[in-house]
Chains A and B, each alone.
Chain A
Amino acid sequence: MAVLLLGEVTNGELSVDATAKAVNAVKGLGDVTVLCAGSSAKAAAEDAAKIAGVAKVLVAEDARYGHRLAEPAAALLVSLAGDYDHIAAPATTDAKNIMPRVAALLDVMVISDVSAVIDAETFERPVYAGNAIQTVKSKDAKKVFTVRTASFDAAGDGGSAPVADATLADDPGLSTWVSDQVAESDRPELTSAGRVVSGGRGVGSKEQFEIIEALADKLGAAVGASRAAVDSGYAPNDWQVGQTGKVVAPELYVAVGISGAIQHLAGMKDSKVIVAINKDEEAPIFQIADYGLVADLFQAVPELTQKL
């Protein structure tokens, strides 16, 4: 049994956290080969080789893989698929774009957001915004799936896997990259941050979101938002924590002005310590918070920022 794992490479850099968590999820299934693809990918491949449990690294360095386009990446994975029983990736937006395409090209069903690997055919995954956990058994010859990284610890380092060039696949040439608008930020990345401070509809406006950001900066935390805050235009969508956004599991999660809709809880309830600050003492967020403070956030949050 062998596993092909698509490493998360952005602008030539490996997301070690996401990739190492996915390695840990799949390493029981067989020898793990990590594929690093990008317009520059050699450095990422060197980093992937150091992850404990990786047997081999394949590198596909070419401009066609440089902008996260699904069609060339899927074509590459399909061309390599013959040697593997399992084809997996951390469930990032790139992988969610690419992996279902790979599965359909192989005529197999994709298994999205795997939260536990039971055996070579059987997987657990959350459905209904995390309100239910389904165990599914795949009848397909190859299993194509994405891994919910928040459900797994990262594999350690200390590996020294050999790195080889992958044979490139033809570029279907169906789409072209135009531009990226990457939010400039010195803050940690949301899904791998050790601390997250999130604001909800209670924050009231985009301007007032600054008090959330100030607390986050004091804590060295990433900033998150509820779907209600994103819908209301207070925060950008890539801050969204929840079933339709990002799933996080930091050491400390501070929910400010967030009522605790089910779809939000699905994205953060695996956090180690949860703090909720909300003026409504009936808010459902208090049912899962380790420490709840019933208070006006506009007084409590600046005070907390000052006292930390």
Chain B
Amino acid sequence: MKVLVPVKRVIDYNVKARVKADGSGVDLANVKMSMNPFDEIAVEEAIRLKEAGKAEEVVAVSIGVKQAQETLRTALAMGADRAILVVAADDVGTDIEPLAVAKILKAVVDAEQPGLVIAGKQAIDNDMNATGQMLAALLGWSQATFASKLDIDGDTAKVTREVDGGLQTIEVKLPTIVTADLRLNEPRYASLPNIMKAKKKPLEEKTAADYGVDVSPRLEVVKTREPEGRKAGIKVGSVDELVSKLKEAGVI
């Protein structure tokens, strides 16, 4: 079985996003970019399936700017076998919407015929939490979102999902789409020898036009602003003072 893993290049998890003064978006110039953390978990899960003999090949795919090839090299260094870069934007500030990404991914799935797609549940830039579900819809496949456990057995997958109030386990027929939640696994760090080896692994470059997908946005971003601030309050010196302040505030 082949596993396809979409990965997104996003602002690094540890960098605070800053809104541009003119309200046109978030400043991404000279900001450290990394693989979306949930996508790292997805890559790790795919590699573990290969190591367990349940997958033969792991293909990473990224859609966005040309620089996303660095993100794909990271996936290759972690253990993916090959990569596909679909260039769909020139400007690093352009975010391709999940619907357009899902349409390109559908075309990639049609060409590659994977038995399983594992994606991150959410990208930490647009926070949409949508691409996996949208891809499943376009393919007419089942979806197992927010996965914290994945067991592949023959042509079915048993997936434990993080839901409000606890966990839910469902069974889906392959091919299917799984989206990774936080506790699915802990992604490995790529070793230096593997980073060197990754440079020689195949990375195919395509464009959105190759797949005949129109990536023009459906949502026009009118403006981007800072959230309302919250003023710091006071420091209290003891538990007793805290209790009396809370009583004064009428919350206890």
Chain A interface (Cβ within 8 Å of chain B)? 10, 67-71, 74, 92-94, 96-105, 107-113, 122, 125-140, 172, 174-183, 189, 191, 195, 219, 227, 230-231, 236-238, 240, 243-244, 246, 251-252, 262, 269, 272-275, 281, 286-295, 300, 303-304, 307-308
Contact = CB atoms under 8 A, between A and B. Distances in A.
Interface of B: 11, 16-19, 26, 38, 97-99, 102, 122, 124-138, 140-146, 148, 158, 162-173, 181-183, 217-227, 230, 232-236, 238-240, 242-243, 245-246, 249, 251-252
A272 B251 contact: yes
9 contacts: A102-B137, A109-B98, A113-B127, A127-B26, A128-B17, A129-B127, A133-B224, A178-B169, A227-B182
Contacts of A100: 98, 128-134, 137
The B contact surface, by secondary structure, is mixed
Contacts of A104: 99, 102, 133-135, 137-138
Contacts of B138: 104
B55 to A, nearest CB: 21
A132 B225 contact: yes
Contacts of A97: 133, 143, 145-146
B168 A68 contact: yes
A126 B122 CA distance: 13
Contacts of B235: 281, 286, 291-294
Contacts, number: 256
B173 A128 contact: no
A182 B167 CA distance: 6
The A contact surface, by secondary structure, is mixed
Nearest to A218: B252
Given A109-B97, A288-B230, A303-B239, 18 more contacts: A93-B146, A101-B133, A103-B99, A103-B137, A104-B133, A128-B127, A131-B18, A176-B170, A179-B169, A180-B167, A182-B165, A238-B167, A243-B127, A273-B251, A288-B232, A293-B235, A308-B243, A308-B252
